[in-house]
Each structure stands twice: as C-alpha cells, then as structure tokens.
C-alpha cells in the first residue's frame, strides 16, 4: 500500500501526513507547506484572548444593523405605557433627550413594535386625507425594510390593512389584507404624520391616532389600540459599546431565525459565549480582550463613516454628504451575488 501511494520523490502520503516521520527514506525532502516559515514564532502569548478579541470585533460589525434596531425596540418599550402592539405617537418633534440615530427635530414620529412569535399582527393604516398623510417603513430584526406605508407603499396612500406573518406560518390567510411575510419575529415601525397645506400639527397628530394595531387572532373584534405620547419622556436607543453589546447580540440570535448567510458567524460567536439554546456565557478570562474588540470596532466604524461621507459629497468643494449611503442596488441590504458587504452595511 505504501509503495502504491509513493509520490515522485519517493515520499509516501503517510510520511507527508506525519505518520512515518521517524522513518528515513532516500530522496525525502522538507515539505513545501504545512508549517510556518523557518524561525517564525507565535506572535501573542494567549491565542484564546486573541481569538476572543477578533471574533468580538467582527461580531460588532456584523450585527450593527440588528443591534441598532434592537436598541430602538428596547428604548420604545421602556417608555411609560408602551408594550408590543401599542403605538408611541409623539405630539411634537423630538427633544434633545430623545437619543435616536438619524432622528430629526422637525417632524413628529410615530413608532411601535410587535413580536410575531405570538402570531400574525394587523396594522391598519389610514388613507391620506386633505390634512395629513403617513410615510414610513416597517423593518425586521435586521433593520431590513419589509413594508413601506403611505403613497410610496403597497397601500398607495389609500389606506389598508397590513398583515405581518411570522416565518413558517402556514395557516390560511383571510382576504382583505396586504400580506407581508416577515423574515424574522420582532418587527419595528417608524412613521411620520405629515401635515398638508392648510393643516396644523394638531391635525397631523390627530390623524396619526386613527391607526390600529392588534393581533390577527382578535381581528373579529379588535381591541382598542393603546396610544402613548412619548414626547415628555427620555428615550434611550443608542447601541452600547461595551460587553452589553454582546448581550444584545445574544438576545437577537436567540430569538431570530438564523439565515444561511450568517451561519459562519454563528459558529464564531460560540468563542465569545453566544450560542442558541444556551445562556450567554462569555469566558471570564477573555472579557478584557472582548471589551477591547467592541471599542476598536466602534472606532473602526467611525473611520468607515468618515471615508464613506468623504467619497459621497454633493459638491467637491464643500462638506455636505448624504447621511446614509445605500448599496449598489440603492437599498440597504448590502448583499450582492458574492458577498455580504459587512463593512459598508455597518457604516450605513
């Protein structure tokens, strides 16, 4: 058998695999690969800490869109009176104590959350009136848009009942709905009630409170939608940049379906204590390395932003850039035929 698999130099496959390393064979030579260059040594004393650092760093970039929308969900639900299927309709523009990524202080917001693990949810959007119209999006747990509403949405500004269906749902769908099959369970929406010519902000606020949000299981006799005015209360929705970031990632991946594109990262997350079906258990001796990975990822994303803005200026002699630069398809998925563009997605 050994003779049959000998190569041209007389070096057998068994020898190449280290199985006959103690045997001297005429004509044998040093392997061309299989080990570092002569004189190379391990560059760090603790490879476990090195792996924890790098995998944390990459996890923060990978999970940025999911963590950002998760923090918005948590922030909304922390406001007094809020819960899934309630609607937070602001009676006026944001204050400075409303910490929201890309939020403006001009147009009042309307926001809410639902958890489709409890079954499909109905969102009734009112038709445009002479006084106001809704604009906005519903996103999944990865901040990917699953529905637009208003004139640019499926209802075309004429109003309608959007039915959000969880993954794997195979029950009969009743007629009369705009059916949106979500890729995940926890969804978030953010709309604006735009006052039209001659209308007041009070008109737009009253219009926003004609929305309805309730479980499909209660569609025959929908409960009254709870509206909360979050304007008087602080709102904290910004991502953390310490070990709590990993706790957020754990909570996200513990609930949401794992997409094929993310399976490699799911394997890497186990190194830092994140595994589906198990408690979050970051290795204590590597926490310092993991914290450094989170902080460095933050600064890396800041640099990505700076470069992204500089390469997308409106005018070459000024410093104005679009705050969110889309992908090549003019969207924000950042998935092409060959790759998930993690850096560009994190920056956006």
Query: Residue 110: CB partners within 8 Å, gap ≥ 6?
Result: 87, 88, 89, 90, 134, 136, 189, 190, 191, 192, 193, 208, 211
DSSP state of 237: -
Out of 3.20.20.140, 3.30.2010.30, 1.10.3360.10, 3.40.50.2020, select the CATH number for domain 51-65+240-347.
1.10.3360.10
Q: Please state, rounded to an integer, the average pLDDT across all residues of the chain.
A: 91
Average pLDDT over residues 39-63: 96
Whether the CB-CB separation of 245 and 292 falls below 8 Å is answered with: no
Domain range summary for the chain, segments of one domain joined by +: 51-65+240-347, 80-232
**pLDDT confidence bin for 2, thresholds 50/70/90:** very low
In the chain, what percentage of residues exceed pLDDT 70? Answer: 92
Structure confidence at residue 139 (pLDDT): 96
**pLDDT confidence bin for 5, thresholds 50/70/90:** very low
Q: Which of 187, 153, 149, 195 is nearest to 167 (CA)?
A: 187
- pLDDT at residue 314 is higher than 50: yes
Fold (topology level) of 80-232: Immunoglobulin-like (2.60.40)
Higher pLDDT among residues 16 and 67, named by residue: 67
Average pLDDT over residues 82-93: 96
C-alpha span between 165 and 169 (Å, rounded)? 7
pLDDT, tens digit, for every residue of 6-39? 444 444 454 455 554 445 566 677 778 889 998 9
Q: Which of 62, 174, 164, 154 is nearest to 112 (CA)?
A: 164
C-alpha span between 224 and 87 (Å, rounded)? 11
Please state, in angstroms and as integers, the Cα–Cα distance from residue 340 to each residue in 66, 167, 189, following that order. 14, 22, 24
Describe the crossing of helices 287-310 and 47-78 by its angle, rounded to 10 degrees.
70
Strand 98-99, strand 186-195: pairing: unpaired
pLDDT, tens digit, for every residue of 161-202? 999 999 999 999 999 999 999 999 999 999 999 999 999 999
Average pLDDT over residues 57-77: 97
| Same-fold call for 51-65+240-347 versus 80-232 | no
pTM assigned to the model = 0.88
């Amino acid at each position: 058998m050994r003779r049959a698999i000998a190569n041209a130099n007389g070096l057998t496959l068994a020898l190449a695999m280290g199985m006959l390393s103690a045997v001297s064979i005429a004509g044998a030579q040093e392997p061309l690969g299989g080990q570092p260059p002569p004189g190379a040594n391990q560059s760090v004393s603790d490879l476990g800490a090195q792996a924890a650092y790098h995998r944390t760093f990459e996890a923060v970039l990978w999970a940025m869109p999911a963590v950002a929308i998760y923090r918005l969900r948590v922030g909304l639900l922390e406001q007094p009176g809020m819960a899934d299927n309630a609607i937070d309709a602001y009676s006026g523009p944001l204050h400075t104590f409303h910490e929201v990524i890309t939020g403006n202080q001009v147009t009042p917001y309307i926001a809410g959350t639902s958890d489709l693990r409890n079954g499909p949810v109905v969102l009734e959007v009112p038709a445009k009136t002479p006084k106001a119209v809704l604009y906005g999006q519903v996103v999944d747990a990865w901040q990917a848009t699953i529905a637009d509403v208003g004139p640019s949405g499926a209802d075309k500004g004429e109003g309608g009942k959007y039915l959000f269906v969880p993954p794997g749902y195979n029950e009969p769908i009743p007629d009369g709905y705009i059916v949106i099959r979500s890729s995940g369970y926890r969804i978030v929406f953010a709309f604006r009630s735009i006052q039209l010519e001659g209308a007041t902000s009070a008109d737009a606020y009253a219009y926003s409170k004609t929305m309805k949000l309730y479980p499909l299981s209660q569609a025959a006799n929908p409960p009254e939608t709870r509206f909360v005015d979050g304007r008087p209360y602080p709102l904290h929705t910004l991502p953390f940049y310490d070990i709590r970031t990993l706790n957020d990632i754990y909570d996200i991946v513990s609930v949401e379906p794992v997409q094929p594109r993310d399976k490699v990262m799911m394997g890497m997350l186990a190194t830092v204590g994140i595994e589906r079906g198990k408690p979050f258990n970051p290795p204590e001796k590597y926490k310092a390395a993991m914290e450094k990975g989170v902080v460095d990822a933050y600064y890396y994303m800041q640099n990505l932003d700076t470069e992204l803005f500089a390469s997308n200026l409106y005018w070459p002699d000024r410093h104005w850039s679009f705050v969110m630069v889309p992908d090549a398809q003019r969207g924000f998925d950042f998935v092409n035929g060959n790759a998930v563009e993690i850096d560009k997605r994190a920056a956006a």
